[in-house]
Structure 1
Amino acid sequence: MPQDARRPRTGLLVPGILLITASVGLGIALEADTHLLELDARWARGIVATRGPVGDAIALAFDRVGGGVIGIVVVPLLIAAVLLARRHYRTLIVYLAASLASGLAVQVMKHLFARERPEHMIVISDFGSFPSGHTANAATAAALLVLFLPRAWAGVAAVAYVLLMAVCRTYVGAHWLTDTIGGVLVGAGVALLVVALADRLAPRPRENPGGERIAPPRNTP
């Protein structure tokens, strides 16, 4: 994921905070809004009715890629190795920080809302249904991919991955539909927030028209 050293991204701070706030607001609304609960129930009945060998295989694959040892250890290490090999050190630090912050935010919210998971799960899951950790991880990675690799194909791939992860989490019965929406909001929000803070705390070098890097301007009295 090559870094774009030309444009500061401190403007992502407010959108990041708003997305995280929206995720928390959704969690609060779920404790009182029966319409959202009915939506979750209808979606769960419909998605469970589509289960079959092919769907099971796809959903279980996403379950392993998005969490557990593969999702939490193997995938991040592979991404870190690629970034190190390409000497994208700043991107690596931002990626690790965003991943850790997203995981921490999800765990805090899980314990804050303590929502029960749906019935008829076909996977083993930890405590708390809201928000979806798998979907939050996917949204964090997808947002970073789009920010550091602003290409049309990257955007399409990022959106497709997040949507598939969200559907698969409801398919296996590990989450309600609104859990995945909350996961997308907090995962993407944390990614934007970390990138914005990184640019604010340690501005990236700019490039002149000839391609030569120049140091960011210093604040003078």
Structure 2
Amino acid sequence: MTAASGREGQAPPASPSRPRALLWTAVALFVVFVLLGVGVLASPPSPWTQALDDAWRALLGVGPESALPAGPVAQLFQNLGALPGFALMMIVLPLALVAIGRWRSALFVIAVQLAGPGLLSQLTKNLVDRPRPAADEAAGLFGPLVMVDHGSFPSGHAVSTATVIVTVFALIPASAVWMRRIWTVVGVLLAIGIVWQRTLINAHWFSDTLAGLIGGAAVALLLWWAFEPWLRRDRARKASFLGR
């Protein structure tokens, strides 16, 4: 038997399957997110998390006299979940990925943004319809210190932040161990920071921010699992302008 005939008799190598851990983690997070939403939907003005939310607000929420909300750190998180962050993830990053020949990854980034901050956040806000923290002058509490849209659950900024964290992690090759470790630390700081900023300015209850992180991560992980074959191809190739 010749070498050529031997090769012809061999089955083509199977492509690696999608990691099941991504799928089951996404499903588990979705279940938690739905349970939190159902718990709030049962009594939007005062759900089962209200005691914790009130305690957190009394500890962390500030009034208009505070300089913290206008500081650079708080403004970083304010913009991350607003138009600048949206433009970064929907326009700048996809265009950069296309420029280096990774259009599949660009589609993944756009899909996550449409499904997370676009669909999940707005759909749940209107379905659950939880009131935002309101001013209570007798208790020394203030309402949102910025313009906010309808519905407090979940925090749209937290959903956006979680999708950014997972999306960037998915784009980093597994071989870049130190880069993934550094981004893990950055991701944890981003998650903590968005919870701090959204509750500092009384824009959301504490549980709204946690639910936003959970929901955003669930969407991003599910789409990571769905796009993984394409992402794997992109991670394995050089940038187009560097040659093949």
TM-score, normalization: structure 1? 0.81
> SS of 2:219's equivalent?
helix
Corresponding residue of 1:64? 79
Larger relative contact order (CA 8 Å, sep ≥ 6): 1
- Of 10-19 and 24-33, deviating more is 24-33
Distance of 1:203 and 1:55 partners within structure 2:
38
Q: 1:59·1:172 contact (CA, 8 Å) conserved in 2?
A: no
In the alignment, is residue 199 of structure 1 matched against residue 222 of structure 2?
no
Corresponding residue of 1:219? none
Distance of 1:81 and 1:206 partners within structure 2:
15
Distance of 2:218 and 2:47 partners within structure 1:
26
- Alignment-mate amino acid for residue 43 of structure 1: W
The Cα shift of 1:49 comes to 4.5
The Cα shift of 1:91 comes to 1.3
Corresponding residue of 2:197? 168
> SS of 2:227's equivalent?
helix
Q: 2:144·2:201 contact (CA, 8 Å) conserved in 1?
A: yes
Gaps of 5+ in 2: 1-14, 135-142, 175-179, 238-244
Identity %: 27
Corresponding residue of 1:40? 53
Gaps of 5+ in 1: 213-221
The Cα shift of 1:65 comes to 2.6
Corresponding residue of 1:140? 163
Given candidates 5, 15, 33, the residue that maps to 1:23 is 33
Distance of 2:103 and 2:66 partners within structure 1:
43
The Cα shift of 1:99 comes to 0.9
Distance of 1:162 and 1:100 partners within structure 2:
20
- Alignment-mate amino acid for residue 33 of structure 2: S
Corresponding residue of 2:215? 186
- Alignment-mate amino acid for residue 144 of structure 1: T
TM-score, normalization: structure 2? 0.74
Give the aligned CA root-mean-square deviation in angstroms.
Answer: 2.9
Closer, same or farther: CA 199–49 of 1 in aligned 2, 3 Å: closer
- Alignment-mate amino acid for residue 45 of structure 1: A
Number of matched residues?
A: 204
Q: 1:132·1:179 contact (CA, 8 Å) conserved in 2?
A: yes
| Pair member with larger Rg | 2
The Cα shift of 1:34 comes to 5.5
Corresponding residue of 1:112? 127
In the alignment, is residue 78 of structure 1 matched against residue 92 of structure 2?
yes
Closer, same or farther: CA 105–126 of 1 in aligned 2, 3 Å: same
- Alignment-mate amino acid for residue 12 of structure 1: L
Corresponding residue of 1:123? 146
In the alignment, is residue 94 of structure 1 matched against residue 81 of structure 2?
no
